Structure 1
Amino acid sequence: MRHLTILRGWGIHALQVAVLLTPVLAVAHTAETASRLPELKTPTHHSNPHLKAPEKYSLQLGPRPAYLVDDMDASPLKERLQSCNTGRKLKRTMFSIGHRGAPLQFPEHTKESYEAAALMGAGIMECDVTFTKDKELVCRHSQCDLHTTTNILAIPELAAKCSQPFTPADHIAGTPASARCCTSDITLEEFKMLEGKMDAYNPQATTVAEYMQGTPSWRTDLYATKGTLMTHAESISLFKQLGVKFTPELKSAEVPMPYEGTYSQADYAQQLINEYRNAGVKPKDVWPQSFDIADIRYWLANEPAYGRQAVYLDDANDPSELPSLQELQGYAAEGFNIVAPPMWALLELDANNNIVPSAYARNAKSAGLDIIAWSFERSGPLKNGGGWYYQTVNPVINNDGDMMEVLHVMAQDVGVIGVFSDWPASVSYYANCMGLP
């Protein structure tokens, strides 16, 4: 629909390990452009909006932010974002949260994915936390996703331990290929034998090798030749080295709890906090998350210093499932401070098809709750609409540049304090250009 030439100043260089990156891009905008934009609202939730990275991890951006800005409709916002190319260093920002690292192109929850996200300016990083057979905490998006996110099926002695072995597709009967491999099927020692891969599988597969393929065309296997899996404790150590903060998500157990009759949900929630305390991480640097309201209540009651920044994740699938104003007020009355819904929950269209804050967004702010949104850069190309993550504004989404318009509404009109992203460079660039924490 739109094609404008990229501003001449955009320089593109190669990053040794992973992505194309360019020395960045900071705050510089004309008074004329600024006058046509709404006043920037910088949240005061964090006392230190920018984090200084260790020198060996110089921050850089790749070509994607320039690509997205170039793809936007002509507007004052586009002019402002284009103007932020002064060659000054990018500041790491807690507004940009690495969702599983940088899984748009790197195997999620791997050392390589986390390092890439840190290079892109993410100031907070996520380890989704689950447990192994011997009750050790590890970083995985789901307790039972090893068959799609690792090479476990290619290691016969470990594949034999999977809850459900690989079953090939039966093209005559019309049944897809399947498998189910859980962290609770194997010990920590066995977990560390695995390598991460892009989260994908081929339902038409008749062999293990075919099943392990299936990466969408808009992602890549270019950086999936190795993926170093991590324990939760190892992720804490790495994030400290990278100079980023922590937002672990306690994943729902997919085995009956108490596990083996003794390991309760409370034990699991407490173990997560204990690993931060043992590593000397201050509560103000940790945003523990959960979709289970019982976990938030546990942390508030038993670990209030960490519980103050607990993030209650909303798992609504459509607007009818979102909490009411009264429910949101109830969360606040219990001591909840932060809610995190999917992006679509924060947006709606007005009578003129402009993207504006949703009733949920207004209600959450009215209840005194801070908001974190998920997950930017998760939908792939937006040529034909944004899909699930943009469901409330899909009619006006028709190319990739539109996601920057959505980000702007979430940041300036909704007032979110952070955004999870599968490619943090895009959010980091916006936050630096707009002076957000």
Structure 2
Amino acid sequence: MMNGLARVALMTYRGLGVCAYPVVSPYLLWRAAKGKEDRRRKSERFGYAGVARPQGPLIWIHAASVGEMLSVIALVRELRRLDIAVLLTTGTITSARIAAERLGGDVIHQYAPLDLKPAVSRFLDYWHPDVALTAESEIWPATMAELEARHIAQVRVNARLSDRSFARWSRHQPMAELLFSKLSLVVAQSDLDGERYRDLGAWPVVVSGNLKGDSDPLPVDEGELQKYRRQIGQRKTWAATSTFEGEEKAAAMVHRALKAHNDQLTIIVPRHPERADAIEAMLVEKELKVARRSRGDVITAETDVFLGDTIGEMGLYLRLTDLVFVGRSLMTETGGQNPMEPAALGCAILSGPHVENFREAYQKLVRNGGARIVKDVEVLAKAVHYLLTNDMARLRMIDASQATVQDMRGALSATLRALEPYINPLAMKARLEPRAAAQ
């Protein structure tokens, strides 16, 4: 009975998608006006191709936004070494820009089609991928139904489910089983994630570890890095990165509390740079002198805060310090941000208590001594002060964080082993078939 209702709900969802299709265009134009869609490539969201499909086998990899896209870069490169064409779709302008910077011509990039049957059908009719890989946690019912109808294997890599998502799906178990059972394979980040996918109906499930542990270090423009290092000189630095609303104010409070004791420069890198004007206004109101990266401001001895309000330059900001507070964890209960990138670049890690999206990584970092969890702004200020003034303690944390990253490597090779039944036939086919663009 419940399974029947779940099927009816899925059919209703697909039908509503067909009805909504004609009125979606104004919504996308509104998003484009907000800077959230690429107006020039809006047609891709309706499933229209922007480039020619190459002949031969093709794997479709969908990575919703920046975090997911960065996690699959190493996997994409391994697939390309096998001469398998890769179609990479993303959902945000930022992730598209970073994909172009990091992968260039190694992949075909398109914006993901909307989860509406006409758009997905048009997309699949043109690209007809041999396998569809999705990263981490997104569930798109119409897309999954269309892939199943065409007998295209659906594989979830670097799979995770947050506490909130798992609780939500568990309340709708029949619908969860209907959708999660469509996955041909799940390669999970952790034992807990694997157990959650199994509980919701996915099978088979294997555990590989987190692909972010195998990611290349974030890139940097060496000229810009050296320029800012000269401007900073011998001043101590700490950074608050991937911050959400309220956490920039917390960083400002920490800076003001420590200013009389340390000649420190505070680096703030908001998760959404479009908030930079409001953040700067808040900092100026607190009588702090701000230099903004987007304006090319010079960091002087009087600068209190360097505001990293650009996209795709986290590698620069993290190399300007060795003490990082990772945001989305203190003033908001939304699960934290990835600590592996600053750890890999030699930073001691501080975080608020809300880190459930990266629970395993934080557990290992904290257990090894590479990260500390702070419960509020007062404790954050004390931790920053202690680590800025105690070089030995900070260096021990840095060593521990880098060792943790090394220990967590191996997810890429485990993922590739799990994917062998899907990619080995394609690699053989790619070697036997000539490669050329389809007409």
TM-score by length of 1: 0.26
Which structure would you say has the larger Rg? 2
TM-score normalised by structure 2 residue count? 0.25
By relative contact order (CA 8 Å, sep 6+), the higher-ranking structure is 1
Higher percent of residues as helix: 2
